[in-house]
Amino acid sequence: MLLRLLAVLGLAVVGASAGPTRSSKLVFLNEENWTDIMKGEWMIEFHAPWCPACKDLQKAWNAFADWSDDLGIKVGEVDVTVNPGLSGRFLVTALPTIYHVKDGVFRQYSGARDKNDFISFVEDKKYRVIDPVPDYKHPNSKQMAVVAVFFKLSMAVRDLHNHLVEDKGIPSWASYGLFAGVTLALGCVLGFFIVIIIDQVFPTGPRKAQQAKKSEKKDSKKDSGTESPTKKNGNNNNTKETKKTK
């Protein structure tokens, strides 16, 4: 009897340490399939494996996902450590972050984080009182696509820094110095090209004076090549008068 009780307790401990059971209804979103949320109604959670608050939410979120068919919605999640571009598109600055999406209209959820609260939020259409994300912050807009690229670059730089420090044994200060030098060099090169482009489009100094002289010469040539109508009429009248006198 005692052995059986110990076995049951052991299984309970193992089950608790393994974490909440993942719902089969939960949709994993990534860089390739995230546009699926533009159609229909969704609830999306952004999380990270290292985030304690995200771990606390997992049980309620998976239980909520089990209700997705009954509610007529889809429930998804995004791991920001694997999909930094999506973190940029949605401007995720805190974890966990939850969004409600209906037919391409995005609203950030800020209510209580319990299964029943999520269900009530969808059933009672409480999202109607929340202002939608403005157009300039819309995840599918061009400007947010640019932000997504910068988030990806920042994640790539961080991964490279960790690789240099942890795998190659380079000191942190040396890695930071390397990135600072590369950043300054790229800034100088880009600045040089920008100055050249501006100088070509909006010339200043002697080049501007030369262009002004050229335009004046063109204008004077046009003026000399065309006579005014009054002059032509005057010449015609003079010729008629000379014919009459004859």
Higher pLDDT, 207 or 185: 185
Percent share of the chain, pLDDT over 90? 50
User: What is the tens place of the pLDDT at every residue in 205-246?
Assistant: 666 666 667 667 666 666 665 555 554 455 555 554 554 444
List, in order of start, the domains of the chain with CATH numbers: 27-137 (3.40.30.10), 142-200 (no CATH)
Higher pLDDT, 161 or 187: 187
Q: What amino acid positions are annotated as catalytic residues?
A: 51, 54
Judge contact between 139 and 83, C-beta under 8 A: no
Question: What is the pLDDT at residue 13?
Answer: 39
What is the reported pTM? 0.65
Q: How many residues does the chain have?
A: 246
Residue type, 12: A
Question: What is the pLDDT at residue 15?
Answer: 43
